[in-house]
Amino acid sequence: MTSVTRVLREGPNRGRPPSEETTRVEHSVGAICEACCKSLVVGQLNYCHMNTVPDYLTIDVQKQNLAAIRRSSETVEASHLLVKHRGSRRPASWKNDNITISREEALAILKGFEKQIREGKVDFGELASHESDCSSAKNRGSLGRFGRGEMQKAFEDVAFGLKVGEMSGPVDTDSGVHLILRTG
């Protein structure tokens, strides 16, 4: 029994069999509350509850649900420069149909790019535009905004750990090796 169902049946309807109207209300309020909880950031949940849910309707939001809501609302914006190698899950790119370099060679290339960027010799986006093996090269390496669970875990962990404007060192994923720049 959902919290909404329990409260509807224990509130003004205590002891009565559920009416068709109660069942409709249970489903619509439950759906509204669920949609509301999924789309709001955690700080807004109390406001939503206090201002849109009648006193006799309550929602049990457990700590793990709040954590899931918090995680789902957390996003970052990032760009990356990818160098693929023959062990990449798709060893081909927009600029090379058959990538044959080893992981070690890809890593050496990426470290060279990292050095150029850190020394200020080249702009991250400009270099990504010409050298990245990802199709995001056409957007200066921009991947846009993404949340947890949308990228490979190693990539995501690093991206979420960076401060805005900070660039990672080499990050190894199934796609290849990356430099990640957090942009938002």
**Per-residue pLDDT at 16:** 59
CB 173 within 8 A of CB 155: yes
Mean pLDDT of 28-40: 53
Query: Which pLDDT band, with edges at 50, 70 and 90, does 3 fall under?
Result: very low
Annotated catalytic sites, by residue? 80, 134, 152, 175, 178
Mean pLDDT of 38-45: 48
**Per-residue pLDDT at 151:** 95
How would DSSP label each residue in 112-173?
HHHHHHHTTSS-HHHHHHHH-SSGGGGGTTEEEEEETTSS-HHHHHHHHHSPTT-B---EEE
Q: Which residue has the tokens 């023959």?
A: 86
Q: Which residue has the tokens 């420069």?
A: 81
State the pTM of this model.
0.62
Percent of the chain at pLDDT exceeding 70: 60
pLDDT tens column, 125-147: 999 999 999 999 999 999 999 99
Average pLDDT along the chain: 78
Q: Which residue has the tokens 């190693």?
A: 154
Amino acid at 122: V
Q: Which residues pair with 80 in a beta bridge?
A: 180
d(CA 55, CA 72): 28
Mean pLDDT of 97-114: 97
Question: 75-182 sits in which CATH class?
Answer: alpha beta
- Position 19 pLDDT exceeds 70: no
How would DSSP label each residue in 83-103?
E--TTSSS---SS-SS----H
d(CA 56, CA 10): 9
Domain coordinates of the chain in residue numbers?
A: 75-182
pLDDT tens column, 76-105: 999 999 999 999 999 999 999 999 999 999
**Per-residue pLDDT at 30:** 53
d(CA 174, CA 113): 20
β-bridge pairing 176-182 and 75-83: antiparallel
d(CA 134, CA 81): 7
CB 144 within 8 A of CB 106: no
**Per-residue pLDDT at 46:** 43
Eight-class DSSP state of 32: H
**Per-residue pLDDT at 74:** 87
**Least trusted range by pLDDT, from 29-38, 66-75, 114-123, 144-153:** 29-38
